[in-house]
Amino acid sequence: MLSTTHRTAETPLQTQIRLGEQVERQAAFRAAETPLQTQIRLKEQDERQTTLRAIETPLQIQIRLEEQAQQQAVIRARDTLEQLQARRIVHAEMQTERWGDFMHNNWSVFHDSGLQYDPSIDYHTYPLIVIGEQEEPLKTLYLYDTNESKRFLSKIRKYNSCFEMTSFGVEKAIRMPVFLATYTVQGQICH
């Protein structure tokens, strides 16, 4: 392993060769890892990163985030159309999986009502209930003045964010492959 003094004396070509060899060694080590070793390595890496980020100054955080954004921009600029489409598909699949997990784990707002989310049921076919003046306990839960009320409204917002918004007066539906439908209603874009 080269010391810092040796690295400063390297030519750009030597640096490129050294980094290429390092990538190859790392790939070989990771290919030979057992799942347990991978899990341990990732946990240690996460702990190191958390420790380093905890002592970062606001300026260091800003610089790190700007560098990450620049690196992402360079990577995306090099992407071919196929790679870009593949990235979008992977992102959409991750979002779908995340929301599916959320729906499965958080179907019941109160977690003790006994309701369970059933993916085989089409919940969109159920008629909407017309709500007048709220009765207790909903009336107090909507006030946002107690911890229970704040928790309730937070859970409702998370739950409602899992669904597409549809509206009367839809002028035009904008469809993109793999993504949720987006509508324009009176000039405003709705999801």
- Cβ contacts of 99 within 8 Å, gap of 6 or more: 162
Q: What is the pLDDT of residue 110?
A: 43
Q: 123 and 106, same structural domain?
A: yes
Q: CB–CB of 108/116 below 8 Å?
A: yes
Task: Please count the structural domains in the chain.
Answer: 2
The answer to whether position 157 is within a domain reads yes
Q: 118 and 91, same structural domain?
A: yes
The answer to whether position 121 is within a domain reads yes
The answer to whether position 104 is within a domain reads yes
Q: What is the pLDDT of residue 84?
A: 83
The answer to whether position 103 is within a domain reads yes
105-144 per-position pLDDT tens digit: 655 454 555 555 566 666 666 665 655 666 676 777 777 7
Which residues form the domain of 154? Answer: 133-163
Integer Cα distance of 175 and 177 in angstroms: 7
Residue 75's Cβ-side half-sphere holds a number of Cα atoms within 13 Å equal to 9
The answer to whether position 137 is within a domain reads yes
Q: 140 and 110, same structural domain?
A: no
The answer to whether position 116 is within a domain reads yes
The answer to whether position 190 is within a domain reads no
171-187 per-position pLDDT tens digit: 555 554 554 555 555 55
Q: What is the pLDDT of residue 82?
A: 86
Note the helical H segments in 3-129. 4-8, 12-32, 35-54, 58-78, 81-105
Tell which residue, 73, 84, 75, 100, has the closest CA to residue 176. Answer: 84
Positive or negative: CA dihedral 33, 35, 36, 41: positive
